[in-house]
């Protein structure tokens, strides 16, 4: 069953989303050469405390930290550690969430540590981020869940990969519903799997965490012995972008974007829904 939210509930999710946006801003500034991924986790904890919000990652299924810090070939669920020291030229995907009055926000971004990154890494992150926005733009009344998956996959497949070949759209992980829990129905693939059908219709009150994960090589992954850290099987580097999005009567509202998604949706010819907290 898909949880459909009221306008008041979406406003609460917007509060949680803005806390996530604040964590993103603070951790992005702190993701510099010499910082440890544990340092970034401490930054996130401080932001949560300042906003009187709760972490939704800490303790989830036994996860031991407030954020996920996934460096280079780590796709997702990297555990913050004093032993992982960021170096110039690394890329890091930071995934985090917050709970406000029982309502969840969840979002991720890829950051460049230091400078001098190869053009293929810059393009990898751009393609992943823009595929996310293509998926968000497909959140329209009358569309179905598969239309979001199709928009993400189509965007990625149309982008030429520097050096040739194809980007790997990670197969084992995808987006999800969000609301009174962080992970809820429906599961959102970042590609179209024909046998799954079209999925539910998108109606006002439908909320999704849209999160493509893309590698420079394989779509295959494996989990390390810590039972959390997910890496690409061929060691190629990957990018992860995510926003939580609500569909309202007036269009999509990107709950975890500071501007509600206004600027990026405008590039797709879409007017973002008004911010309920404005």
101 labelled ligand-binding = no
**Tokens of residue 102, six digits:** 């029982």
Would you say 94 and 35 are in contact if contact means Cβ atoms under 8 Å apart? no
* Residues 118, 126: Cα–Cα separation, whole Å: 13
Dihedral over alpha carbons 156, 166, 117, 27 (to 10 degrees): 50
**Tokens of residue 182, six digits:** 């962080």
* Residues 43, 115: Cα–Cα separation, whole Å: 22
176 labelled ligand-binding = yes
106 labelled ligand-binding = yes
Strands 103-112 and 91-100, by their bridges, are antiparallel
242 labelled ligand-binding = yes
* Residues 28, 264: Cα–Cα separation, whole Å: 20
Which positions make up the binding site for a divalent metal cation?
Answer: 95, 106, 176, 211, 242
Which positions make up the binding site for substrate?
Answer: 77, 183
Which positions make up the binding site?
Answer: 77, 95, 106, 176, 183, 211, 242
């Amino acid at each position: 069953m898909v949880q459909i939210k009221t306008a008041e509930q979406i406003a609460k999710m917007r509060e949680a989303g803005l806390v996530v946006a604040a964590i993103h801003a603070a951790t992005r500034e702190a993701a510099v050469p010499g910082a440890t991924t544990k340092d970034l986790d401490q930054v996130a904890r401080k932001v949560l405390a300042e906003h009187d919000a709760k972490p939704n990652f800490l303790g989830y299924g036994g996860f031991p930290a407030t954020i996920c810090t996934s460096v280079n070939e780590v796709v997702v669920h990297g555990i913050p550690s004093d032993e992982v020291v960021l170096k110039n030229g690394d890329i890091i995907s930071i995934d985090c969430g917050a709970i406000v009055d029982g309502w969840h926000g969840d979002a991720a971004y890829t950051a460049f540590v230091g400078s001098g990154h190869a053009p293929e890494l810059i393009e990898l992150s751009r393609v992943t981020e823009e595929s996310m926005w293509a998926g968000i733009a497909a959140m329209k009344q009358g569309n179905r869940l598969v239309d979001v998956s199709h928009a993400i996959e189509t965007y990625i497949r149309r982008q030429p990969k520097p050096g040739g070949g194809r980007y790997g759209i990670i197969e084992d992980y995808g987006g999800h519903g969000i609301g009174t829990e962080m992970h809820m129905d429906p599961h959102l693939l970042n590609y179209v799997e024909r046998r799954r059908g079209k999925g539910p219709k998108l109606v006002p009150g439908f909320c999704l965490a849209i999160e493509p994960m893309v590698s420079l090589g394989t779509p295959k992954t494996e989990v390390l012995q810590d039972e959390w850290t997910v890496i690409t099987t061929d060691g190629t580097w990957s990018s992860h972008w995510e926003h939580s999005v609500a569909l309202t009567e007036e269009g999509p509202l990107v709950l975890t974007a500071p501007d509600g998604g206004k600027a990026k949706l405008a590039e797709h010819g879409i007017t973002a829904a008004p911010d309920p907290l404005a």
